[in-house]
Amino acid sequence: MAASANNLLRKSKSRFATTLSSSISDSDTTIPLGSTTGLPTDTGITLTIDRTGSVEAVTGTVSGNNIINAKRGESSSTAAAHASGAVVEALWEADMLNDVVTHLLLGHDQAGSHIGTDLYAADAGANDTYVVTLSPVPVAYTTGMTVRFKANTINTGAATLNVNGLGAKTIVKGNSATLADGDIAAGSVVQVIYDGTNFRLIGGQAITQNAAMTTTARARAHNTSAQTISTASSTQLTLGTEDYDSGNNFASSAFTAPVTGFYAVSAGVQMQSMADGKNVNLQIKKNGSGIVDATFSSGAAVDVNAVVSDILQLAATDILTVFVIHNHGSDRSTTTTTTFMAVHLLSI
């Protein structure tokens, strides 16, 4: 964590004393010192100027022989002008102890037990601009800071989080990719971790997948009546009677995939009174091109049952249809309920 005047945990140096190398006004944020030897540079530091006169505590960070980005009038003192040569010391100030206690209470109760509710709050923002107010109040964003909040709205693409007015920071996926629509669901409890630049969503991919799997896609349909199939002519099966269609994805003898995913697909046809040695070929097509097929032969003058099945990866809006062709030599008819197509979404 970078040194900052906002650090709650600040180091000091025993028996440190120096003087101002030049005068300062009551609003200067750079404090010039005769020496900074021994002062810590990895955290902010609080120093006292002129404790026997116009006493003032200042907090800032060391840069060369200066204290920079100084916060003036700390520890209930008053910002004042000081002359060159004024004594500057590292003394124990009440704010130093108070800030340590505040830091400890961010993660513990007064009995010393760790608490997990301190970094949780309900979102009070609008779409894609999440806003939370935590208590105790964090004074700055720090790398590794984890925040949990209950989202008020679903995100639609890029989103930000503003914690206690410290400024809106972009929320990204765990791999730093931009959020997709619905990565944050309305009413969900979201956990993010600050990486120094953005808040990274923890578990966002899984949330998205679970939300997508609420998509319903199960359908089966069959012949309404016997269908005449001309010999040697590839013919689409007319499946006019729906046994079920929970996602309303089946229409005009075709199934349309609602989302990208893996689907269990099966189809069947019963061709009546096929001659001995004649064949029936059944084919499932995706977007008009054959993707699964099988050929069945009759061993006698009987009805021929042909069934094909597979697990297919489909993109959203892909269309499945079923075609049949035979070589009996004259028209043949199908039966009804055994001439069908069924499709079930398995996973995304």
Give CA–CA dist 43/142, Å, rounded.
13
Which strand (E) or helix (H) includes residue 21? none
pLDDT at 108 over 80: no
At which residue do the structure tokens 């949330």 appear? 207
The pLDDT value recorded for residue 9 is 86
- Delimit the domains of the chain by residue range: 17-94, 120-212, 218-347
The pLDDT value recorded for residue 319 is 97
% residues pLDDT > 90 (the chain):
65
The pLDDT value recorded for residue 206 is 38
Which strand (E) or helix (H) includes residue 105? helix 94-105
Do 58 and 46 contact (CB within 8 A), yes or no? Answer: yes
The pLDDT value recorded for residue 112 is 64
Least confident of 3-7, 326-330, 335-339: 3-7
Do 264 and 341 contact (CB within 8 A), yes or no? Answer: no
pLDDT at 94 over 90: no
Q: Which residues lie below 8 Å from residue 195, measured CB to CB, with a gap of 6+?
A: 143
The pLDDT value recorded for residue 109 is 61
Cα 45–chain centre separation: 38
Do 135 and 118 contact (CB within 8 A), yes or no? Answer: yes
Q: Grade residue 268 by pLDDT with cuts at 50, 70 and 90.
A: very high
The 10s digit of each residue's pLDDT in 201-251 is 986 543 444 444 556 799 999 999 999 999 999 999 999 999 999 889 999
The 10s digit of each residue's pLDDT in 159-183 is 999 999 999 999 999 888 899 888 8
Higher pLDDT, 98 or 275: 275
Q: Grade residue 140 by pLDDT with cuts at 50, 70 and 90.
A: confident
> For residue 180, which of 155, 206, 198, 202 has the smallest C-alpha distance?
155
Average pLDDT, stretch 62-78? 95
Cis before residue 136, ω within 30 degrees of 0? yes
At which residue do the structure tokens 């800032």 appear? 60
The pLDDT value recorded for residue 195 is 93
Which strand (E) or helix (H) includes residue 68? strand 66-74
The single-letter DSSP state of residue 287 is T
The 10s digit of each residue's pLDDT in 17-51 is 999 999 999 999 999 999 999 999 999 999 999 99
CA angle (309 as vertex; 304, 311 as ends), nearest 5: 175
The pLDDT value recorded for residue 255 is 97
pLDDT at 107 over 90: no
> For residue 3, which of 142, 159, 97 has the smallest C-alpha distance?
142
Tell me the Ramachandran region of residue 45: left when phi exceeds 0, alpha when psi lies from -120 to 50, beta otherwise: beta
The 10s digit of each residue's pLDDT in 185-205 is 888 889 999 999 999 998 654
Query: What letters, b where the CB count within 10 A reaches 16 and e where it falls short, cover 264-290?
Result: ebbbbbbbeebbeebbbbbbbbbeeee
The pTM of this model reads 0.44
Give CA–CA dist 183/162, Å, rounded.
18
The single-letter DSSP state of residue 96 is H
Cα 40–chain centre separation: 39
List 192's β-bridge partners, or say none.
Answer: 147, 201
% residues pLDDT > 70 (the chain):
92
pLDDT at 328 over 70: yes
Which strand (E) or helix (H) includes residue 99? helix 94-105
Higher pLDDT, 213 or 143: 143
Q: Compute and round to an integer the Cα radius of gyration of the chain.
A: 37
List 308's β-bridge partners, or say none.
Answer: 267
The 10s digit of each residue's pLDDT in 293-319 is 999 988 777 899 999 999 999 999 999
Across all residues in the chain, what is the average pLDDT? Answer: 89
Q: Grade residue 329 by pLDDT with cuts at 50, 70 and 90.
A: very high
pLDDT at 99 over 60: yes
Which strand (E) or helix (H) includes residue 212? helix 204-212
The arrangement of secondary structure in 218-347, i.e. its CATH architecture, is: Sandwich (2.60)
> For residue 95, which of 9, 2, 4, 1 has the smallest C-alpha distance?
9
